[in-house]
Amino acid sequence: MPESATPCEHAVREALAQHSDLGAAAHDLPADGDLYAAGLTSLASVRVMLALEERLSVEIPEERIGRALFSSIAHLTGVLAELTGDRDQAGGRDQAVGAGR
């Protein structure tokens, strides 16, 4: 895994290694490589998704769940980064409102 990996990408590779048949190879896959071609099954992808939701405390909206979500590490990372970003921003806004009172 490149040293510049973001926390989201790190989490994705960890989850793939732990919950799919890719195993440790998940750490070395190219970020834009086809995960299904590498051996990811749709059954394993469910566990990967749920593990990531748990670890990052996000819920992937139903309309984004599908085969395309797991097309590559980069794509999955991008979706999760967006969701965690939204969440952190929302949290930030809440705090700001709280502080304003």
Partner 1 sequence: MTAASVERTVLTERQALDAAVQVAKAAAEHAAATDRDAVFPAVGVAALREHGLLSAAVPKEYGGHGLDPRTLTRIGARLAGGCAATAMIWAMHQLQVACLARGAASSPEIATALADIAERQLLIASITSEVGVGGDMRRSVAAVQPADDGTVRLTKKATTVSYGEHADGFLVTARSGPDAAPTDQVAVLVMAEHAELERTGDWNPLGMRGTCSPPFTMSATVPAGMVVPEPFGETATRCMVPLSHLLWSGVWTGVAADAVRRAVAYSKIRMRAQLKAGRTQDDPRLGRAYADLRVLQDTVARFADDYAVWDAAQDADTTAMTVRANALKTGVSVDAVRVVEQALEICGMAGYSESGPYSVARHLRDLYSARLMIANGRLELANSELLLLTGDLIQE
Tokens of 41: 């099954």
- Using CB under 8 A as the binding rule, whether residue 19 contacts partner 1 is answered as yes
Which residue in 34, 54, 86, 94 binds partner 1 (CB under 8 A)?
A: 54
Which residue in 16, 40, 51, 80 binds partner 1 (CB under 8 A)?
A: 51
Nearer to partner 1, 18 or 71 (CB): 18
- Using CB under 8 A as the binding rule, whether residue 47 contacts partner 1 is answered as yes
